[in-house]
Structure 1
């Protein structure tokens, strides 16, 4: 696998290669395999004859830390790019910035922090297993986590920076900041179901995020063919955006639209039965 990516990117980035968990693909591969084993096999077996664990305080701390980390990283990308906007010739084609130390540093170290956050995201699924919320351990959930962590590793390790994906990082962190705020409030008030009225808007925001990513990476392919960012990575982002729009769109349809229709049918049938009994 490493040889394939070396042929695409020609060489590993010397700076990224010195960072922990970035120098070799073995750590991310091992972590991902352990993650799959725990959430799909070992975890369910361990919880089979056990009651759900009460890990509310751990989840609260985790959600709060995720809010701080994601909002901080989103802020860093927006502020540093804005402060150095004169060094960005075209926001529609973001590559490396050798003439801007601030952008160059953000390009690699900002991506590296984002990568660590995507690996830490694996813990969320473990929480689902420990709480026996197996319904939340869906294909969409697992696929999204693994795809993000493994790809961000290769992006930083071989390309050596965020490049066009800087927009993805800012958008993704903003969405996750909002999402973990919902999780935090829901964990504080688990019995009130107060989040249901805005839970669906999180999915809408995620869908909007993937559409924006699709447009942002399609732009240089169509209007900036001379853009220095690797075409393969642009096509990957376009294809992944389409996949995620389809998966999240299907989840939204099943969870909110279909359930709403079923509930309306039940209400109609219930009203009919009441009227018949009254007669």
Structure 2
């Protein structure tokens, strides 16, 4: 099992559900149109692919969070996003059965933020902004982490995408270790990751952070992150490309009230 949390996998097996998502329905959000491949079959239990205008989600009905959210992040989208004020519209994902989805009540008074994986600040119009507030795109995230370190990581990624013209981005939770907890029916991740790949430079990098109040983050190669979480995140890339690390500016902690 490696670092994948054993009790989580036991719950998946006990669930007896294996509605794995079919072949990718939203290929534009992925490098070469290829969706990540879950390497541990137990993690495929109760997964559903959800496609939105400018991002895609692989949702787990066991954790009731995304396993990842995927974006083809472009400079044009970011330029449009700058003109939008934030309008909070958190909502459950009604395309998912009630038995598999997060509800607003799960997060209420939990002490955790509803942390965007595909950020509101990347959304180019009101419709995609509303879509980003689905709970299928959220994980329980430490509030200090979300508002400061994570907001800084999102800002660095947006700056790089504006500079290069486009990036492919995968963002998700990791459930590692032996001390996981739930809020309501939603599993709280131990870590968060954000993978950035530049087609122009043919290089990528992964931010990897603990889900707690911290200013520390690790920069990993794509290959290193894949080994940690048990997912082939960008299956069209060669082994050499997954080891080639993209250089990004240092992350500065934001003073904002929340991640975008």
State the TM-score bracket (shorter-chain normalisation).
Answer: under 0.3
| Structure with the higher helix share, 1 or 2 | 1
Q: TM-score, normalised by structure 1?
A: 0.26
- Bigger RCO of structures 1 and 2 (CA < 8 A, at least 6 apart): 1
| Structure with the higher strand share, 1 or 2 | 2
